[in-house]
Structure 1
Amino acid sequence: MYHWAGLGIFCISWAQYVGIGTATPSQALHVAGGDVRVEGLSGTGIALVGLTPQGVTYRLDFSGSATDFLRGDGTWGPDAGDWKLAGNAGTDPTIHFLGTTDAQQLRLRTNNTERARFQVDGRILIGTTTPLHNKAVLQVQGGSTNRAVYGYKASTSGVSVVLGIATQGGGPYAGAVGYGAQASVVGTTTRGVGLVGMVGVTDFLHWDLGPGIVGTGQNYGLVAYAENTTGDRAAGRFEAPAGPGQTVRSLVSAFIGGTQYKIWGTVTGGGGTPPASTVVEAPSGQLHALACPEAPEILFFDRGEAQLAGDEIYIALDSVLAFNLYVDAVHPLYVFLQPLDRDCGLYVTERSRFGFRVRATDPGCQTRFYWWAVARRNDTYTAEGLRLSRHVGVRLPEVPVELTH
């Protein structure tokens, strides 16, 4: 049952509901068809209405920035946890970050296409949604037309564009690793290059041979340097499989057992070291290999022709060669003679590192002859007398065990 008041805009029902603008109020106070004005909440500016625990209304005046939020304590201010698109100030890197706090990825897009993905385990994928490696932290896929990574350094300080450092660990580790892969599968191609280094040039050669490293420069293609000043060492180490369980190994610019070597070779797994060789061309154009003579000692030799004058002649060795020879009673100068005319009984006397004298047993012999002189190479020293490389007495030196593996 309802009771009407006024002109029909105010209604009180027996259910103790009050309706304004409605004949069927559904709540204790039901206003329909208009706004409600409370004189005690009026004032200037924009405000909100709050309620006390006792249900009393009150005015919440706005006094902050237009971008402020109404906090749970009834005050206005910025959200301490928001991250603005226009930049942020007053951040604390120990507590503020862009990312997730649970085991979920973070993905970045442009033009609604994913460009980067941060995996839960810390790996970062750029240009791909599928990990390329299970250990690499940064993984970049350049697609079929773009380079994966391009670095450029423009300064005179000489700082590297790319610097790879690997420290500690008992297993194999590398500062930088490059693969030339086919069909996105590592190790399935014989073409391409693992790593390319270029200075002062715009292109490189032999990419179709499938090399691990290609270096191209105006003066030097590759430069290697071993910094260790003690123990055996070498600037370069080159290996290739030779047979079942065998590996041919050559060390370049090496220091082994106290002796300096340009080239030092061995075969691991048994067998002798292959010889050094060069290639010559026949008149037909066919190429043929020649082998270098080798000796159990470190030797220098010289040869020439001469003619006796008055039964004898003194042959002086070149002063540069003589400076680098070592001759004594234990390590003599060996001289071999071959008469080119009548044999007059030639023999050698007065041997030293500076030369030797040839005499004939037949008086008045003036025959012409060929000579060949061989001696040990002298040790090399600094100007202060510090020995740099041992040569004298080096005969069939044993190969260090660590260089056979």
Structure 2
Amino acid sequence: MSESSSVLDAFALWGILAGSSGAGVVGRSGGGVTSYLANTGGSFSSASGTGVYGISNSASGTGGVFVGNNLTPSSTLVDGCGISGNGLSIGVYGYATGNGNDRWGGYFVAATNANAYAYVGGRTGGTNYKINGPGTVSTMVKDLNGEYVNMFCPESPEVLFQDYGTGKLVNGRAYIQLDPIFAKNIYVDEAHPMKVFIQLEGDCKGVYVTNKSKNGFEVIELQGGTSNVAFSWTVVANRANTYDENGNLDSRFQDIRFPKSPKKPSTLELKNQVKDKGTK
């Protein structure tokens, strides 16, 4: 295939494969067997090191840009980044193929702080996690001036679910039936009691909670009272274990308390081999 000189002058390496069974460019470092992914622009492998190494010498450059779903143009940060991933529904996909514990789809760290890191999408100690790290979980909301400020999630040594609602005493009694979806996903027994908190919204002799189960609870006025008083309630219960379609345990939740965290992985410092412009 012929290309105009103006196009070829823009590239140090130009690879074209007319068919779809191979790769446009294949590169390998070290021994072993050369492998490539069919129908790709390029495949790179290393026997003992890094398959692909991308670097930008610009202070606001991007080390690598990867674009899928036939998107164009791509998008990256104005101040640059290590990797920019662009996709129609998902920009970056991480997949860990190992079995058992201590496997994660992603790991992110801020190098300036030893405790600023987070694992994403993984499993350790028989429990599945979406995010795990020594920092806090937060969200952003706008203040009175329209500027974003942080709010933080309360966290617990156990895996807990909460629900809230309102009710009313009728002749001193009320039964609260919990949402069946909530009930399906909590575990309640003598060792894992459901906690119920009642806030009365009117005058009466006081109340107590009885007949608690994963399906609901009863609120009764003290001393045989017969008031008709409204109240609000909060319930807290342990999240139930999850199981796969064959009934095998998928993830532990209901019995864990202060489980051990995953260990911070070791890192390897890469040495950049610098050569003068124009050398091989």
TM-score, normalised to structure 2, is 0.79
Higher RCO, 1 vs 2 (CA within 8 Å, ≥6 residues apart): 2
1:161 corresponds to 2:41? yes
Give the SS at the match of 1:164.
strand
CA positional deviation for 1:206: 2.8
Alignment of 1:274-293 (within 5 A): 274-293=135-154
> 1:191-236: CA deviations, max 9, x gaps?
1111111122112223432211001111111111111112311101
Instruction: Select which of 256, 261, 264 maps to 1:394.
Output: 256
Residue 258 to residue 239, structure 1, CA distance change in 2 (3 Å): same
Instruction: Select which of 245, 254, 261 maps to 1:383.
Output: 245
CA positional deviation for 1:154: 7.4
Provide the residue aligned with 2:273 in structure 1.
none
Provide the residue aligned with 1:174 in structure 2.
50
Give the SS at the match of 2:146.
coil
1:326 corresponds to 2:187? yes
The question of whether the paired residues in 2 share the 8 Å contact of 1:280 and 1:288 is answered with yes
- Alpha-carbon distance in structure 1 between the residues aligned to 2:93 and 2:168: 48
Select between 285-294 and 157-166 the one with higher mean Cα deviation: 157-166
Select between 224-233 and 321-330 the one with higher mean Cα deviation: 224-233
CA radius of gyration, larger in: 1
Size of the aligned set, in residue pairs, is 244
- Alpha-carbon distance in structure 2 between the residues aligned to 1:404 and 1:316: 50
The question of whether the paired residues in 2 share the 8 Å contact of 1:153 and 1:160 is answered with no
Residue 148 to residue 224, structure 1, CA distance change in 2 (3 Å): farther
1:262 corresponds to 2:130? yes
- Alpha-carbon distance in structure 2 between the residues aligned to 1:355 and 1:395: 25
- Alpha-carbon distance in structure 2 between the residues aligned to 1:367 and 1:154: 79
Q: Cα RMSD (Å) of the superposition?
A: 2.5
Provide the residue aligned with 1:58 in structure 2.
none
Give the SS at the match of 1:320.
helix
Residue 286 to residue 400, structure 1, CA distance change in 2 (3 Å): closer
- Alpha-carbon distance in structure 2 between the residues aligned to 1:232 and 1:179: 30
- Alpha-carbon distance in structure 2 between the residues aligned to 1:235 and 1:289: 26
Provide the residue aligned with 1:228 in structure 2.
98
- Alpha-carbon distance in structure 2 between the residues aligned to 1:306 and 1:150: 72
Aligned sequence identity (%): 33
1:369 corresponds to 2:231? yes
CA positional deviation for 1:363: 2.2
Gaps of 5+ in 1: 1-141, 182-188, 266-272
Select between 301-310 and 200-209 the one with higher mean Cα deviation: 200-209
* Corresponding letter in the other structure for 1:324: N
- Alpha-carbon distance in structure 2 between the residues aligned to 1:222 and 1:152: 27
CA positional deviation for 1:348: 0.7
Alignment of 1:328-347 (within 5 A): 328-347=189-208
Residue 400 to residue 274, structure 1, CA distance change in 2 (3 Å): closer
TM-score, normalised to structure 1, is 0.56
Residue 376 to residue 311, structure 1, CA distance change in 2 (3 Å): same
Instruction: Select which of 146, 150, 157 maps to 2:10.
Output: 146
1:252 corresponds to 2:120? yes
Residue 242 to residue 397, structure 1, CA distance change in 2 (3 Å): farther
* Corresponding letter in the other structure for 1:196: V
- Alpha-carbon distance in structure 2 between the residues aligned to 1:401 and 1:281: 36
Residue 313 to residue 153, structure 1, CA distance change in 2 (3 Å): farther
Residue 358 to residue 154, structure 1, CA distance change in 2 (3 Å): farther
Residue 162 to residue 404, structure 1, CA distance change in 2 (3 Å): closer
Give the SS at the match of 1:212.
strand
CA positional deviation for 1:155: 6.9
> 1:346-378: CA deviations, max 9, x gaps?
111111111111111242211111100000000
- Alpha-carbon distance in structure 2 between the residues aligned to 1:331 and 1:203: 54
CA positional deviation for 1:247: 3.9
CA positional deviation for 1:394: 0.9
* Corresponding letter in the other structure for 1:260: N
CA positional deviation for 1:283: 2.7
Alignment of 1:128-147 (within 5 A): 146-147=10-11
Alignment of 1:2-401 (within 5 A): 146-149=10-13, 159-167=39-47, 169=48, 173-181=49-57, 189-199=58-68, 200-243=70-113, 246-265=114-133, 273-361=134-222, 362-401=224-263
The question of whether the paired residues in 1 share the 8 Å contact of 2:173 and 2:226 is answered with no
Gaps of 5+ in 2: 1-6, 22-37, 268-280
